[in-house]
């Protein structure tokens, strides 16, 4: 089961221009405004229209904005570290040696091209040698952590006993982004399917598979059968429906046709006596498919998925084919990402914590952590004030909510304890082998946690990655070092813009603990209903209004935002903005906000919020987002939360007839 870690994912940050002193003070990119658009009609375009008009999405990107700028900065910073390590001899077996060797091997495309398919031949031979459904199940078990399989295993806190780790099985195994890409007959989906079919055929041709067109069609048909059994993204958001613990023997009885015992044993989970099955009907359908479909089709599926998973470390023809589909057809990019930046992604995945330690030493000032702790404290206090002021929640439920808020764990910057990579073997000049061994190493570490106590000190993200998240099973919010730097948070900028950007992000993550998913877990991370029936009913009634609001937004022609899928993130945006605004007001100590650059503090707050969501996205990427992603497109995040905020309407004096005007009685207020 995919645990419901609620990430910000697209934490898009404001782009302050240090070239203009007033902008540096005000914390806003003034040239990025569009004077022809009134804030009262469109906050997002008023604050970002100039930038939107003058900015082109780079050819190698599906989208571009504040997040992409920070991500590129982080990649450049860690690249400098790794390339410095590679320029001089390192002690064999040290993390410095492993970082340099891993990156250098990945960058040596000439050697990769010369090696051809030879490095992957043992894995391809394993697939050719499969002679029974049992052996297929064992192969799928061994592939956990290596590639997406029809059943994906994970290990994490038990929803009902969050102090103990529990294995879980979830649906997976699709080469397209999700079930709609297989089942919908919309032109955009049909186009994506055609591109995928061509990609599968190209992989088959390059690997010397007989009758490549027929092989591709058989694999697509198999995946379509899997997709028909998949739960849709909205159903997967319900943690109660997803919590189905059972013994392996019980799973085998309920979902016959697939050798679950062989699968789990090959995945190093043969010792477990209990696991969660997130989508039981999918498990039953998989058993039927394994019993029904020819083994030859499954072997073709396995071979083409293996080639796709490792295309980055295969010869140029494979790399080009993968980009033509995953880069161009699915995301709209017209050129491949620079090899060095792909290398940073690979190194972060394999040795991210080791690289993070070096990154923090160089790029994370000690004062940033203290300042962030202060900001989080202010936001937590503001959220507590909001709890007490709720008119729709009973004292009984408020007491439970307050208990949960008080039990939040806050992780900032980097972990207190760094991971040990001594057991990971990295060989010079072995790009593919390094990836295989790294994936196996990561899976062994994860599988070994099943049945053991949860280590609350562990981090779920590397310090050099630009993101933030809330995890309901540990009731923690986490902000890695890479997000705590200019232009995201600028100590030289005005407080108003900082509260509108970093403050709203902090508030967003706190609010995830009380959105439609997070609110089903208590302060100890246990899946438990701590609400009175009347309070839950009142909450759901307000949430339904938010679903309707966002479902009315058309992201691309003929394709609207899914208000049910994005509900959790929209609640977090709405509540996070409310809480950040209250925290900013508290910071003024009862004094009026200063006017800077002709804007009041309240106006700068909302303009900073809007510029935090500055982004442009290609149509192909937007289609993928509204189909599968629980986050709404950026402009709807910026405007959708602000339109419900009393402070926004007061700051800009909106009135009837303005496009962003919403009467006080109609505004949606949750926390």
Tell me the pLDDT band of 40, cut-offs 50, 70 and 90.
Answer: very high
**pLDDT on residue 366:** 83
The pLDDT value recorded for residue 128 is 98
pLDDT for 487:
61
Q: What mean pLDDT comes out for the span 374-385? A: 93
Q: What is the pLDDT of residue 208?
A: 97
Helix (H, G, I), strand (E, B) or coil at 7: strand
pLDDT digits (tens, 9 = 90+) for 412-448: 999 999 999 999 999 999 999 999 999 999 999 999 9
Mean pLDDT over each residue of the chain, to the nearest integer:
94
Superfamily (CATH) of domain 113-337: Neutral endopeptidase , domain2 (1.10.1380.10)
- Prediction pTM value: 0.94
State how far Cα 558 lies from the chain centre. Answer: 26
Domain 6-78+366-415+459-666: assigned CATH number: 3.40.390.10
Q: How far is CA 395 from the centre of its chain?
A: 35
pLDDT tens for 123-161 read 999 999 999 999 999 999 999 999 999 999 999 999 999
Indicate whether 10 pLDDT > 70.
no
Q: Work out the average pLDDT over 167-179.
A: 98
Q: Where are the beta strands (DSSP E) in 159-244?
A: 161-171
Closest CA to 13 of 382, 464, 468: 468
Q: Write down the pLDDT at residue 9.
A: 35
The yes-or-no verdict on residue 90 having pLDDT over 90 is yes
If you average pLDDT over residues 87-104, what whole number do you get? 97
pLDDT for the residue numbered 260: 98
Q: What is the pLDDT of residue 27?
A: 82
Provide mean pLDDT across the span 578-585: 96
Q: Provide the angle, in degrees to the nearest 10, between the axes of the packed helices 95-107 and 66-86.
A: 110
Strands 476-480 and 409-413: parallel
Contacts of 389 (CB under 8 A, 6+ apart): none
The DSSP annotation for 313-360 comes to: GS-HHHHHHHIIIIIIIHH--SSPPPHHHHHHHHHHHHHHHHHHHHHH
- Tell me how far apart the alpha carbons of residues 262 and 20 are, in angstroms, rounded to a whole number: 64
Domain layout of the chain by residue ranges? 6-78+366-415+459-666, 113-337
Q: What is the pLDDT of residues 348-370, one digit of tens each?
A: 999 999 999 999 999 998 888 88
Return the pLDDT at 370: 86
- Report the C-alpha gap between 203 and 307 in whole angstroms: 7
Crossing angle of helices 567-587 and 533-551, in 10° steps, is 100
Residue 292 clears pLDDT 70, i.e. is over it = yes
- Residue 485: pLDDT band (50, 70, 90) is confident
* Percentage of the chain exceeding pLDDT 70: 96
Q: What is the pLDDT of residue 8?
A: 40
Coil, strand or helix: which one is 211? coil
pLDDT, tens only, 586-598? 999 999 999 999 9
pLDDT for 23 beyond 80: no
Structure tokens at 3: 């645990």
pLDDT digits (tens, 9 = 90+) for 199-219: 999 999 999 999 999 999 999
| Residue 477 host element (H or E) | strand 476-480
In whole angstroms, give the CA distance from residue 139 to residue 305: 13
Rounded to whole angstroms, the Cα distance separating 155 from 653 reads 51
Which DSSP symbol is given to 392? S
Residues 43 and 664: beta-carbon distance below 8 Å: no
Strands of 237-290, DSSP E: 245-246, 275-277
pLDDT at position 486: 65
| % of the chain surpassing 90 pLDDT | 91
- Cis ω for the linkage preceding 487 (within 30 of 0): yes
- Return the pLDDT at 371: 84
Mean pLDDT along residues 75-93: 97
Query: Residues 647-653: what's their mean pLDDT?
Result: 98
**8-state DSSP, 501:** I
Place of tokens 């009685």: 665
460: confidence class by pLDDT, cuts 50, 70, 90: confident
pLDDT band at 494 (very low <50, low <70, confident <90, very high): confident
**Whether the predicted pLDDT of 18 surpasses 70:** no
Say whether pLDDT at 28 is over 70.
yes
477 phi, psi to nearest 5 deg: -115, 145
H/E segment holding residue 156: strand 151-158
Residue 516 has pLDDT above 70, yes or no: yes
Q: Which candidate, 514, 379, 466, places its Cα nearest to that of 9?
A: 466
Check residue 13 and give its pLDDT. 30
pLDDT (0 to 100) of residue 428: 97
């Amino acid at each position: 089961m995919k645990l419901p870690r609620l990430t910000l994912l697209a934490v898009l940050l404001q782009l302050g221009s240090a070239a203009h002193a007033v902008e540096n003070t005000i914390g806003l990119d003034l040239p990025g405004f569009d004077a022809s658009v009134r804030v009262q009609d469109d906050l997002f375009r008023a604050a970002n229209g100039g930038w939107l008009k003058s900015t082109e999405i780079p050819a190698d990107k599906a989208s571009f904005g504040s997040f992409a700028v920070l991500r590129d900065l982080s990649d450049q910073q860690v690249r400098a570290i790794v390339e410095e390590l590679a320029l001089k001899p390192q002690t064999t077996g040290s993390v410095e040696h492993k970082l340099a060797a891993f990156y250098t091997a990945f960058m040596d495309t000439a050697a990769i091209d010369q090696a051809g398919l030879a490095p992957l031949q043992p894995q391809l031979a394993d697939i050719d040698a499969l002679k029974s459904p049992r052996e297929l199940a064992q192969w799928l078990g061994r592939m956990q952590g290596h590639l997406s399989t029809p059943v994906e295993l994970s290990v994490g806190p038990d929803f009902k006993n969050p102090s103990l780790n529990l294995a879980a099985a979830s649906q997976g195994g699709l080469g397209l982004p999700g079930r709609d890409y297989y089942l919908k007959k919309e032109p955009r989906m049909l186009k994506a399917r055609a591109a995928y079919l061509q990609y599968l055929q190209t992989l088959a041709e390059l690997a010397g598979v007989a009758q490549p067109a027929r092989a591709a069609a058989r694999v697509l048909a198999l995946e379509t059968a899997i997709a028909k059994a998949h739960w849709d993204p909205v159903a997967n958001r319900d943690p109660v429906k997803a919590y189905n613990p059972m013994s392996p023997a019980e799973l085998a009885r309920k979902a016959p046709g697939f050798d679950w015992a062989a699968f789990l044993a090959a995945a190093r989970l043969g010792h477990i006596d209990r696991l969660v099955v997130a989508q039981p009907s999918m498990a039953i359908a998989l058993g039927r498919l394994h019993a029904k479909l020819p083994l030859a089709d499954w072997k073709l599926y396995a071979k083409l998925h293996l080639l796709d998973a490792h295309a980055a470390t295969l010869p140029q023809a494979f790399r080009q084919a993968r980009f033509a589909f995953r880069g161009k057809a699915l995301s709209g990019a017209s050129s491949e990402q620079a090899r060095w930046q792909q290398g940073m992604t690979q190194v972060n995945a394999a040795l991210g914590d080791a690289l993070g330690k070096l990154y923090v030493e160089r790029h994370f000032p000690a004062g940033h952590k203290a300042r962030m702790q202060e900001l989080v404290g202010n936001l937590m206090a503001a959220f507590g004030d909001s709890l007490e002021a709720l008119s729709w929640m009973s004292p009984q439920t408020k007491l439970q909510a307050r208990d949960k808020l008080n039990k939040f764990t806050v992780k900032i910057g980097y972990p207190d304890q760094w991971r040990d990579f001594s057991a990971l073997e990295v060989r010079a000049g072995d790009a593919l082998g390094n990836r295989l061994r790294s994936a196996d190493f990561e899976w062994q570490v994860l599988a070994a946690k099943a049945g053991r106590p949860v280590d609350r000190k562990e981090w779920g993200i590397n310090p050099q990655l630009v993101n933030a998240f809330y995890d309901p099973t540990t009731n923690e919010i986490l902000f890695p070092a890479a997000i705590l730097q200019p232009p995201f948070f600028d100590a030289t900028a005005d407080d108003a813009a900082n509260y509108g950007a970093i403050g709203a992000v902090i508030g967003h993550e706190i609010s995830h603990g009380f959105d439609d998913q997070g609110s089903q877990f208590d302060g100890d991370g246990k899946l438990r209903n701590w609400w009175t029936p009347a309070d839950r009913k009142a909450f759901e009634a307000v949430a339904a209004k938010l679903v309707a609001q966002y479902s009315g937004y058309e992201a691309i022609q003929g394709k609207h935002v899914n208000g049910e899928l994005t509900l959790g993130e929209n609640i977090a945006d709405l509540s996070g903005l409310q809480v950040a605004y209250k925290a900013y007001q508290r910071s003024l100590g009862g004094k009026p906000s200063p006017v800077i650059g002709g804007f009041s503090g309240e106006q700068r707050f909302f303009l900073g919020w809007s510029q935090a969501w500055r982004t442009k996205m290609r149509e192909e990427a937007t289609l993928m987002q509204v189909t599968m992603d629980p986050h709404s497109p950026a402009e709807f995040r910026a405007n959708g939360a602000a339109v419900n905020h009393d402070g926004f309407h007061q700051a800009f004096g909106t009135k009837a007839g303005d496009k962003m005007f919403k009467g006080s009685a109609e505004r949606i207020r949750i926390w």
